[in-house]
């Protein structure tokens, strides 16, 4: 069983992952709105690379209001037209990712940049959306809760703290907890490239402290200060940024091993 996160449209590495002929679990962020390194993504296709990088930089500073001002200045009265154009690119990206995963099998949850309805619609045969569910593998119970932490952007993929608490409570105790977001642990939520402290999830941290699963797997923070941490008996592991690293984690009867596809 192979776990990845933050694939952000990386179709060629996905095809190599499928070729390994193992069950694949994607912990969210299937599409690429803006690659912070290059500016590539849906926003750049519609509004240009310079604009994509400028707004990404504002988001990296947590300047959501400045980011909104840039959007207003760029699109003026053309909001609906631009929204539809970006939506078309996003749908195409989901289709491309689905083609890359075609022939594989696995499980998926959504991340903060995802559109959950579109993700469920376009997941290929062989993959199942498991947000809020528990599955059994290798004698382990594995619980899944997707979604990003709320921001002023109010993106479709965000999940409120109240909803997150309810979803986690619905899982009950599990051996492996899978989320898109990190727990509220400083070293796990700090991006060392942007210098930004992402907001880790307090409900996820509270769940870990109460139930102490063996593992907590997540993504979201692309260049984290720490990719592994312990909260009590729980080993917390950041699996992202698959688009840039090709990293994955394999769990089977022999234990837990890191891996990478080129």
pTM across the whole model: 0.92
Q: Which domains does the chain have, with CATH numbers?
A: 2-31+104-254 (3.60.21.10)
* DSSP H or E run through 122: helix 116-122
At residue 68, the pLDDT reads 80
- Between CA 116 and CA 79 the distance in angstroms is 22
Nearest C-alpha neighbor of 150 from the set 179, 171, 181: 181
Higher pLDDT, 153 or 166: 166
Q: What is the mean pLDDT of residues 220-230?
A: 91
Contact 62, 196 (CB under 8 A): yes
Considering only 190-194, 205-209, 255-259, which range has the smallest mean pLDDT?
A: 190-194
Instruction: Provide, rounded to the nearest whole percent, the portion of the chain with pLDDT above 90.
Output: 71
Return the DSSP state at 144.
Answer: E
Distance of alpha carbon 85 from alpha carbon 42, whole angstroms:
9
Cα–Cα distance for residue pair 225/209, rounded to 1 Å: 21
């Amino acid at each position: 069983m192979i776990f990845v996160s933050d694939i952000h449209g990386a179709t060629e590495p996905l095809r190599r992952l499928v070729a390994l002929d193992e069950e694949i679990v994607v912990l969210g962020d299937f599409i690429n709105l803006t690659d912070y390194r290059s500016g590539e993504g849906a926003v750049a296709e519609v509004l240009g690379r310079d604009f994509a990088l400028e707004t990404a930089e504002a988001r990296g500073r947590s300047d959501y209001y400045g980011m909104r001002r840039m959007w207003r200045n760029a699109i003026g009265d053309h909001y609906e037209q631009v929204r539809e154009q970006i939506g078309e690119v996003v749908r195409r990206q989901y289709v491309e990712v689905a083609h890359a995963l075609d022939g594989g099998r696995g499980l998926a949850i959504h991340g903060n940049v995802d559109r959950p309805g579109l993700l469920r619609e376009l997941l290929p045969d062989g993959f199942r959306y498991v947000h809020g569910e528990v599955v059994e593998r290798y004698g382990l119970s594995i619980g899944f809760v997707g979604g990003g932490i709320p921001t002023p952007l109010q993106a479709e993929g965000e999940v409120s703290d109240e909803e997150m608490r309810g979803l986690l409570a619905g899982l009950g105790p599990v051996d492996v907890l899978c989320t898109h977001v990190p727990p509220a642990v400083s070293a796990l939520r700090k991006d060392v490239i942007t210098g930004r402290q992402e907001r880790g999830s307090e409900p996820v941290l509270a769940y870990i402290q109460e139930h102490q699963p063996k593992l907590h797997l997540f993504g979201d923070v692309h260049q984290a200060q720490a990719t592994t941490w312990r909260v009590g008996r729980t080993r917390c592991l950041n699996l992202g940024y698959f688009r840039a690293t090709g990293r994955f984690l394999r769990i089977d009867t022999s234990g837990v091993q890191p891996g990478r596809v080129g």
